[in-house]
């Protein structure tokens, strides 16, 4: 008898790049989407995910989480047994993020991937789970 294996985790990578290879400009303005279809595609990918991994420069430029906002996509997440929003996972070596970013007022799970030194500033604070 062959024992059934638990399902393996899956990783999906959605990359965005402009023609010159950069999303942010020199002023670190928030990223803009080429079209409504581009944004809808990204939101569908976000809605399918358990977690969204992004760097601190992306967070600093946009100041917000990459949330699911379309009611039908939120309903589909709930029917699949997922929470309304995927975890928002910020990667930063330094941990240098402003606790006043709009990101921290949004109702999403906030996770942090950093170094021991980067984590020091966040110990004992409610910003990350």
How far is the CA of 26 from the CAs of 46, 57, 111, 118, in angstroms?
A: 27, 12, 27, 25
The rounded radius of gyration (Å) of the Cα atoms in the chain is 17
Reply yes or no on whether the pLDDT at 13 is more than 70.
yes
Average pLDDT value over all residues in the chain:
86
69-123: pLDDT as tens digits = 999 999 999 999 999 999 999 999 999 999 999 999 999 999 999 999 999 999 9
When pLDDT is cut at 50, 70 and 90, the band that residue 14 belongs to is: confident
When pLDDT is cut at 50, 70 and 90, the band that residue 45 belongs to is: very high
């Amino acid at each position: 008898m062959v024992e059934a294996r638990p399902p393996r985790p899956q990783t999906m990578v959605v990359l965005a790049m402009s023609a010159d290879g950069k999303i942010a400009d020199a002023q670190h303005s928030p990223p803009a989407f080429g079209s409504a279809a581009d944004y809808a595609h990204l939101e569908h990918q976000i809605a399918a995910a358990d977690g969204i991994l992004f760097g601190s420069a992306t967070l600093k430029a946009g100041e917000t989480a990459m949330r699911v906002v379309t009611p039908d996509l939120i309903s589909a997440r709930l029917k699949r047994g997922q929470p309304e929003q995927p975890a928002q996972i910020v990667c930063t070596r330094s941990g240098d993020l402003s606790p006043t970013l709009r990101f921290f007022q949004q109702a999403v799970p906030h996770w942090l991937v950093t170094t021991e030194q980067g984590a020091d500033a966040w110990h004992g604070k409610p910003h990350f789970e």
